[in-house]
Amino acid sequence: MSTFIYEASDNEGNIEKGKIGAENRREVVEYLGRKNLIPIAIEKEGETTIIKGLSFVLFETVKPVDRILLVRNLSATIKAGLNIIESLDILIADFTKNVMRNILTQAKFNLQRGQPLSSTFAYYKKYFPQIFVGMIKAGEASGRLDKTLEELGGYLIKEYNLVRKVRSALAYPVILLAASTGVVTLLLTFVLPRLAKSFKTSKVELPFITKILIGVSNVLTYSPVLDLLVVAVLVWFFIYFRRTPMGRKIFPKFFMKIPMVRDLVKKVALVRFARTLSSLLSSGISVIEALNISAEAVSNETYKAVILGSVSQVKSGVPLSKIFGNYPELFPHLLINMMAVGERTGTLEHILKTFSDFYDEEVDNALKDLTTVLEPLLLLFMGLVVGLIALSILLPIYKLVGKFA
């Protein structure tokens, strides 16, 4: 028998910590269940260390792949004839991540006390987006949870592939830009300062371009602490700031002004909107709620504002095709016409799915067009910058050689 350290909460959210002797974690879970406690963390005494605890809190998270595995496996087990409790037991045993096991264990105990599965995922909104919670909630209400999970699984896979496709296509240009920045920084901070001392000693007349680059070099080498601070600010700006409400407004507007990038941004947003709205409507969610969730899923503040603004008009009976038709710069005529047909025939969700699948291929084309132009431009830029630095170094050396010839 081993000793386990547990942390659990009651119905009112009060936290209880303690130790118990048990053969395995399952016995601890059953013990907490008899006390009407929801397990948060269970660790075997002697295995728990500060480092392990920190790694769980700081680094372990729920990734898109985890959500896909959860939904697909839950759908498969329910279709096989198992009830939700039995299905969750299998998933708890299969998942290796503590965060997923804890969430699913809490979901199981919530179900045993009569709470719906969706309520647990709604509590962990940091890990599960609105569409995830909304579709499961709709599946529970309609009694079609297995089919809803299958639909949600398909949606999550397509969304994951879309993000991976965009990241993969842009990976090489980003690496190229980072490499060129590294080469330029190396030349300006290590090579040029040493040559500048030689030029100063020889009292050779420096070309204008060399003087400018030596000035830039002096600024970069003036204070390493200041350089690190500038780099930290830039990293914060591009990683953290873009996730803030202001950053989510500024970045899309900036990208929407760049011709080829604008085309890609629009197509990605349209695919997400059409796919999300289609999946939600197919699950039986009302148009109003589906629009609210779709606005969040788009991850583009320009589109989000228009979609949220359409809610009040839909409540007044205005068709979606007419509302979005007022924004031809955001919604193409193809989508508007297809939505109009879907609204007339009552097949809007199927029409939107067809459009999202078609535009998914358009995202591929937009990515190919962007990378086809971006890669040679970056190579040309890198060549010009490195060539300029090389010229600023070679010209004084040529003058110095001529002086002693």
Angle between helices 333-345 and 348-404 (to 10 degrees): 160
Indicate the average pLDDT of the chain. 84
pLDDT at 303: 92
The larger pLDDT score, comparing residue 59 to residue 271, is at 271
What pTM value is reported for the model? 0.72
Give residue-wise pLDDT tens across range 69-111.
999 999 999 988 888 999 999 999 889 888 898 889 889 888 8
pLDDT band at 48 (very low <50, low <70, confident <90, very high): very low
Q: Is 44 helix (H, G, I), strand (E, B) or coil?
A: strand
Give residue-wise pLDDT tens across range 115-162.
889 989 988 888 999 999 999 999 888 888 888 999 999 999 999 999
Side-chain-side CA neighbours of residue 321 (13 Å): 15
- Does position 57 have pLDDT exceeding 50, yes or no? no
pLDDT at 38: 65
Q: What would the two tokens of residue 167 be?
A: 């990241």
Main-chain phi, psi angles of 46, to 5 degrees:
100, -25
Side-chain-side CA neighbours of residue 392 (13 Å): 24
Beta bridge partners of 101: none
pLDDT at 261: 86
pLDDT band at 54 (very low <50, low <70, confident <90, very high): very low
- Does position 9 have pLDDT exceeding 70, yes or no? no
Give residue-wise pLDDT tens across range 337-354.
999 999 999 999 999 999
Going from the C-alpha of 308 to that of each of 135, 206, 250, 293, 303, the distances in angstroms are: 19, 61, 18, 9, 9
pLDDT at 401: 72
Q: What angle do CA 355, 148, 351 make, to 5 degrees?
A: 15
- Does position 43 have pLDDT exceeding 80, yes or no? no
Query: Could you tell me which residues come within 8 angstroms of residue 302 by beta carbon, excluding any fewer than 6 positions away?
Result: 252, 253, 256, 269, 330
Most confident of 205-219, 330-344, 363-377: 330-344
Angle between helices 208-222 and 348-404 (to 10 degrees): 110
Which amino acid is it at 380?
A: L
- Does position 4 have pLDDT exceeding 60, yes or no? yes
Pair 395, 214: CB distance under 8 Å: no
Extents of the domains making up the chain:
2-58, 64-156
- Does position 360 have pLDDT exceeding 70, yes or no? yes
pLDDT at 53: 38
pLDDT at 180: 84
Fold of 64-156: Receptor-associated Protein (1.20.81)
pLDDT above 90 as % of the chain: 33
pLDDT band at 55 (very low <50, low <70, confident <90, very high): very low
Give residue-wise pLDDT tens across range 216-240.
888 878 777 777 887 788 777 777 7
Which amino acid is it at 170?
A: L
Main-chain phi, psi angles of 63, to 5 degrees:
-95, 165
